[in-house]
């Protein structure tokens, strides 16, 4: 640092200029120290007085850690400090000394090395080697003529959560927080049992569900008891004839799996103006059905389903089914996606069947995609309740039969996904569909479908496991890699949260107009140090007085403050008359004291 850069010449006085606000801070300290020339020169050598430096930038000012033998820089400034000071070219440098000699020096050295090692964990070290290949590559913009200190874009993004994940989470949050629209849905009740804030997730008045046989509607709602959002599925105009079916509901409630939408409770209500039955599930914001994801028009390149018999449906120039099927190849799902779905669907059916129940509605409208490739079965227990035969002596008697039907439905669903057509599973189209699968995918996939659709006497999910075989490992690998990526994203934001809390404290103290009727509170004592520190972190300028912006400098300073590092920095008063050499440990103490004072005052007022 070149002091002449910042300081106008004044005769050497070796005292704090009275007009300097630093005086208010220094006056609190014990003045009983004599200036030791050795200490001062040692400190100065650590201040790297490089006359070529043109900015008040950060790390150049930080004294090195090799201050062994120095009797200065006690981290415990406010307990027992001695000060030394020196005037260099009109600027007064203040040092923090310690009267207790060499034993303290050793302690300090230990402390520095301890701080150094513990501090390391506070810094996000960048994406680790095993995730380098998964990082989205960003080409730097060619016209990046910004200030030299502006970090290149790829560096910037690598220290924050990826934009895609961020958008994904923001989208889910906004859906979760959405509020009821009483103008658009004036007839919705404000409260249904223990739930309020009902927001429809689909059209309310739609025809009866072909899968469930009843008119249904689905809502996001907030629990009055705990404020958590849930998904309510209402069966319109339904009276529960027999409560024996609650045995099945209880069995479903006990089933918990990452591929099943959790059922929480079932109740009847008249809140909608009819006798409705309501099933309460976990709410998964942004959930999309397999139907809309893979069987909608836009997903099929705008062409009609090749199995569609409607002559008016839009088709490409050739009208033959074979040509369309060939066209269809372009929009076929990759085989690994189909296997991933198979593994998740069979995993869900495995626990459902092991739990003594059957799903009974394995249909593209009931399988939800709750993130990019995560499937969850929705509507658990609804078929059991709405089709319950009150005259049956044993409500569980047909379960085995229904479980077999689940496996046939699985075969149909996989065939439909492989052909990207719901009509592919129609009896008349079955042959062409299987030929399409044989042409496009592996024999394993075809055999898997054939097995499920065969007349085999008794099938179980366990039989399917050898057919999936080593693909389990591929799935496991994908999930583990995703887990690694998410953990890396978390590591970035974890530190941001910590720094945010620190910034909140700093901002609460800095520039506070008054505290306890004291108008100059923020401008004196510890708070004055924090004000200078704030200038040091955020308000640096280049030699020609342009703002000097460097995120790394800000993050590094805040991290050291949070860790209470023994590293020292020079804080300069705004009048440029005084420079204070202070450690982050001391600054942290200033911050803790000041913030505690504010908290205390807030409590007293309360």
On whether 289 is known to bind a ligand per the annotation, the reply is: yes
Which C-beta is closer to ligand ATP: that of 229 or that of 527?
229
The answer on whether 446 is annotated among ligand-binding residues is: no
Nearer of residues 211 and 467 to ligand ATP, judged by Cβ: 211
Question: Given the complex with ligand ATP, which of 231 and 436 has the nearer CB atom?
Answer: 231
Helix (H/G/I), strand (E/B), else coil: 20: coil
Beta carbon nearer to ligand ATP, 20 or 216: 216
- Here the tokens at position 383 are 């078929």
Q: Cα–Cα distances in Å, from 432 out to 9, 168, 387, 441? A: 93, 39, 34, 14
- Cα 514 from Cα 491, distance rounded (Å): 38
Compute CA 292 distance to the chain's CA centroid, rounded to the nearest angstrom: 26
Q: How far is the CB of 188 from ligand ATP (least distance, A)?
A: 16
Which residue's C-beta sits nearest to ligand ATP? 209
* Strand, coil or helix: 423: helix
**Which one, 172 or 321, has the nearer CB to ligand ATP?**
172
Nearest to ligand ATP of 97, 364 (CB atom)? 364
Known binding residue 322? Answer is no
Cβ proximity to ligand ATP: between 373 and 520 the closer is: 373
DSSP conformation class of 298: G
Nearest residue (CB) to ligand ATP, 205 versus 458: 205
Residues that bind ligand ATP (CB under 6 A): 201-202, 209, 211-212, 216, 218, 231, 261, 281-284, 287-289, 291, 365-366, 368, 378-379
Shortest distance, position 308 Cβ to ligand ATP, whole Å:
19
Q: Is 402 annotated as a binding residue?
A: no
Which residue lies nearer to ligand ATP by CB, 229 or 505?
229
Q: How many CB atoms lie within 10 A of CB 13?
A: 11
Q: How far is CA 319 from the centre of its chain?
A: 48
Residue 201: CB atoms within 10 A of its CB come to 17
Which two tokens mark 253?
Answer: 């409630």
Distances (CA, A) of 552 to 141, 157, 537: 20, 13, 10
First vs last Cα of the chain: how many Å apart?
48
* 3-state SS string for 162-223: CHHHHHHHHHHHHHHHCCCCCCCCCCCCCEECCEEEEEECCCCCCCCCCCCCCCEEEEEEEE
Q: Whole-number minimum distance, CB 176 to ligand ATP, in Å? A: 10
The count of C-alpha atoms lying within 13 angstroms of the C-alpha of 448, restricted to the half-sphere facing its C-beta, is: 29
Smallest distance, Å, CB 271 to ligand ATP? 19
Q: How far is the CB of 289 from ligand ATP (least distance, A)?
A: 5
> Where would I find the H helices in 355-425?
382-386, 399-419
Q: Which of 551, 553, 559 is nearest to 156 (CA)?
A: 551
Long-range contacts of 124-133 (CB under 8 A, 24+ apart): 124/159, 124/491, 124/492, 124/494, 124/495, 126/158, 126/159, 127/158, 127/488, 128/488, 130/484, 131/484, 131/485, 131/488
288 is in an annotated binding site: yes
The reply, when asked if residue 286 is annotated as ligand binding, is: yes
Minimal distance, residue 285 CB to ligand ATP, in Å: 7
- Least distance in angstroms from the C-beta of 426 to ligand ATP: 18
- Compute the least distance from the CB of residue 233 to ligand ATP, in Å: 7
What minimum distance in Å lies between the beta carbon of 237 and ligand ATP?
A: 15
Half-sphere exposure at residue 523, Cβ-oriented, CA atoms within 13 angstroms = 9
Binding site per annotation, positions for ATP:
233, 282-289, 365-366
Which segments are annotated as binding site?
233, 282-289, 365-366
């Amino acid at each position: 640092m070149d002091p002449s850069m910042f300081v106008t010449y004044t005769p050497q006085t070796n005292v704090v200029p009275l007009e300097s606000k630093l005086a208010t801070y220094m006056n609190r300290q014990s003045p009983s120290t004599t200036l030791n020339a050795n200490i001062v020169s040692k400190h100065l050598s650590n201040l790297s007085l490089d006359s070529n430096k043109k900015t008040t930038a950060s790390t150049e000012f930080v004294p090195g850690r090799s201050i062994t033998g120095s009797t200065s820089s006690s981290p415990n400034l406010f307990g027992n400090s001695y000060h030394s000071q020196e005037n260099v070219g009109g600027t007064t440098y203040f040092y923090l000394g310690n009267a207790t000699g060499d034993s303290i020096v050793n302690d300090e050295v230990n402390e520095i090395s301890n701080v150094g090692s513990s501090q390391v964990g506070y810094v996000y070290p960048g994406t680790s080697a095993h995730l380098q290949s998964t990082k989205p590559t960003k080409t730097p913009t060619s016209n990046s003529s910004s200030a030299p200190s502006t970090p290149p874009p790829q560096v910037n993004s690598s220290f924050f959560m990826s934009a895609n994940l961020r958008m994904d989470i923001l989208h889910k949050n906004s859906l979760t927080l959405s509020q009821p629209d009483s103008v658009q849905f004036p007839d919705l009740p404000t409260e249904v049992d223990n739930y309020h804030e009902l927001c429809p997730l689909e059209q309310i008045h739609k025809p009866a569900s072909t899968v469930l046989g009843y008119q249904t509607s689905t809502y996001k709602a907030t629990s009055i008891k705990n404020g958590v959002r849930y998904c309510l599925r209402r069966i319109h105009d339904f009276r529960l004839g027999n409560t024996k079916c609650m045995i099945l509901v209880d069995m479903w409630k006990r089933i918990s799996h990452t591929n099943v939408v959790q059922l929480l409770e079932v109740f009847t209500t008249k809140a909608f103006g009819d006798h409705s039955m309501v099933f309460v599930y976990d709410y998964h914001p942004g959930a999309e059905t397999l139907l809309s994801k893979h069987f909608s028009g836009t997903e099929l390149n705008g062409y009609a389903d090749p199995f569609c018999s409607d002559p008016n449906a839009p088709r490409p120039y050739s009208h033959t089914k074979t040509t369309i099927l060939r066209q269809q190849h372009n929009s076929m799902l990759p085989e690994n996606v189909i296997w991933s779905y198979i593994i998740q669907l069979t995993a869900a059916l495995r626990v459902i069947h092991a739990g003594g129940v059957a799903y009974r509605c394995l249909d593209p409208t009931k399988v939800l995609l709750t993130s990019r490739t995560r499937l969850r079965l929705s509507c658990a227990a609804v078929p059991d309740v709405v089709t319950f035969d009150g005259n049956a002596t044993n409500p569980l008697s047909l379960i085995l039969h229904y479980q077999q039907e689940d496996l046939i439905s699985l075969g149909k669903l996989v065939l439909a996904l492989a052909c990207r057509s719901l009509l592919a599973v129609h009896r008349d189209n079955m042959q062409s569909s299987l030929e399409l699968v044989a042409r496009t995918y592996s024999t394993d996939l075809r055999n898997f479908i054939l097995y499920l659709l065969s007349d085999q006497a008794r099938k179980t999910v366990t039989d399917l496991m050898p057919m999936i075989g080593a693909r389990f490992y591929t799935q496991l690998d994908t999930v583990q890699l995703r887990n690694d990526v998410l953990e890396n994203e978390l590591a970035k934001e974890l530190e941001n949260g910590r720094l945010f809390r620190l910034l909140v404290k700093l901002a609460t103290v800095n520039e506070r107009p008054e505290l306890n009727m004291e108008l100059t509170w923020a401008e004196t004592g510890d708070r004055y140090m924090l004000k200078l520190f704030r200038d040091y972190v955020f308000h640096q300028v280049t030699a020609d007085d342009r703002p000097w912006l460097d995120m790394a400098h800000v993050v590094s300073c805040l991290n050291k403050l949070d860790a209470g590092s023994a590293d020292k920095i020079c804080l300069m008063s705004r009048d440029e008359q005084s420079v204070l050499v202070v450690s982050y440990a001391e600054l942290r103490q200033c911050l803790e004291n000041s913030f505690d004072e504010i908290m205390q005052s807030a409590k007293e007022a309360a």
